[in-house]
A = this chain, B = another copy of it.
Amino acid sequence: MWLLNDRRPLKVAQNTIVPNHDSEYVISSFRTEEGLVLPQATIRYSTYGTLNGDGSNVILVPAYYRGQRGGYTFWIGPGMALDTEKFFVIETEMFGNGKSSSPSNAVEQFYGPRFPFTSIRDNVKAVHELLVNGLGVRRLKAVAGFSMGGQQAFQWPLSYPGFVEKIVSSCGAAKTYGHGYVRLEGQIFALVADKTFNSGNYGIPPRAGIDAFSMVWGGWLWSQEVWRRELWKELGIATFEGALQSRRAAFALSDANDLIHQARTWQRHNVGDTPGFEGDIELALKSIDIPVLYITSRSDLYFPLGDAEYEISHLSKGRLAIVDSVWGHPAGSGTTSDEDFNFVSSEIAKFLSS
């Protein structure tokens, strides 16, 4: 999605890890936070590594926007940040990604625009059911996530206090502030401006709208510095037109209702909306009493450094680790250069072993 395969950091390119188990977990009568009930809610997941005897080596890795299984090969594997020789890693896919329950794969009654809104808390609740009832997991050594995966990580200690020992959020945040909302709203407006979208009841895909959604996103992905210095050349892209085309095509294969569903999940995220905190993000952050590794990229235009500094000031056990990269948001994954990869990987590994 954001990096051409042939220029990934060597350790990511050489990582041939595959899940030892792929599955789906179906929850009956799943009630969303807003009170709608899905008769069957499916969470797709994968596992890596081996569960140890006392079940103390489980790490949950919830997906980012559009993420599917195998989306965390930049972190999961033997000798990687989430070392599969030590940890039993569970990778879960979010509602709306087209594989877990989504507008595009729902039964007629909930198909497309009729699919209910799902919050970050709804995703965390569903995965909690998978872990406890499906896999018999009683506690997590850590939840580690990138981007919307990081948003989910922050929700865990609030939804299920005592269940998680540590969290890692990389280029994610505990709340989507106004700017994140507006940024995503621009993308949604761009998509629905295409009348083919037809309030989500399209017969053929709204191609122009999806292209526009993708192109708007393209402006936010990397820092301005990458463009001025034409660093997309380091990704194996030969021309500016090629760089533009790579952005326009970013979501070409995605379903429009799915794209919007997850954008809405993102927009409305606020751990302060957990029952008991009445929307107060600072109170909610202060209640997190476990260690938090808060990784941020200096040039991230989605989750800017200022927001990270604000949030960490309200965490009692937070460590801020700043990726000194021009690659913007994706630098938090570590896929953008060997330097970014080494920094992110070693920060996570150190944090988990401390």
Residues in A lying within 8 Å of B, measured CB to CB:
177-183, 185-187, 189-196, 206, 208-209, 211-212, 215-220, 222-228, 230, 232, 240, 243-244, 247-248, 301, 304, 306-307, 310
- B307 with A228: CB separation less than 8 A: yes
Of the residues B220, B224, B232, B304, contact of A177 by C-beta under 8 Å: B224
* Given A186-B215, A193-B193, 11 more pairs with CB closer than 8 A: A177-B224, A177-B228, A178-B230, A179-B222, A181-B244, A183-B219, A186-B186, A186-B212, A187-B216, A193-B208, A228-B307
Q: Check B179–A228 contact: CB distance below 8 A.
A: yes
- A–B complex contacts, Cβ < 8 Å, 18 sampled: A179-B227, A181-B227, A181-B244, A182-B219, A186-B190, A186-B215, A186-B219, A187-B216, A189-B212, A192-B208, A193-B194, A193-B209, A194-B195, A195-B196, A195-B208, A219-B220, A225-B304, A228-B306
How many whole Å from A98's CB to the nearest CB in chain B? 22
Tell me if A227 and B186 are in contact (CB < 8 A).
no
Q: Which residues of chain B are within 8 angstroms of A224 by Cβ–Cβ distance? A: 177, 179-180, 301, 304, 306-307
**What is the oligomeric copy number?**
2
The A interface is mostly helix, strand or loop, or mixed, namely helix
Q: How distant is the Cα of A347 from the Cα of B306 in the complex, in angstroms? A: 28
A220 to B182, CA, bound (A): 9
Report B-chain residues with C-beta under 8 Å of the C-beta of A191: 193
CB <8 Å contact, A189 and B216: yes
Inter-chain contacts of A220 with B (CB < 8 A): 219
A223 contact set on B, CB distance < 8 A: 179
Cα distance A177–B223 in the bound complex, in angstroms: 12
- Once the chains bind, are B178 and A228 in contact (CB under 8 Å)? yes
Q: Quick one: which of B189, B216, B222, B304 contacts A211, CB cutoff 8 A?
A: B189
Determine the distance from Cα of A232 to Cα of B212 in the docked complex, in whole angstroms: 27
Considering the chains assembled together, what is the distance between the CA atoms of A301 and B183 in angstroms? 13
Given contacts A212-B186, A215-B182, A240-B178, contact A228 B192 (CB under 8 A): no
The 7 closest A-B pairs by CB, nearest first: A178-B227, A190-B190, A179-B227, A186-B216, A189-B212, A177-B228, A179-B224
Within 8 Å CB of A301, what residues of B?
224, 301
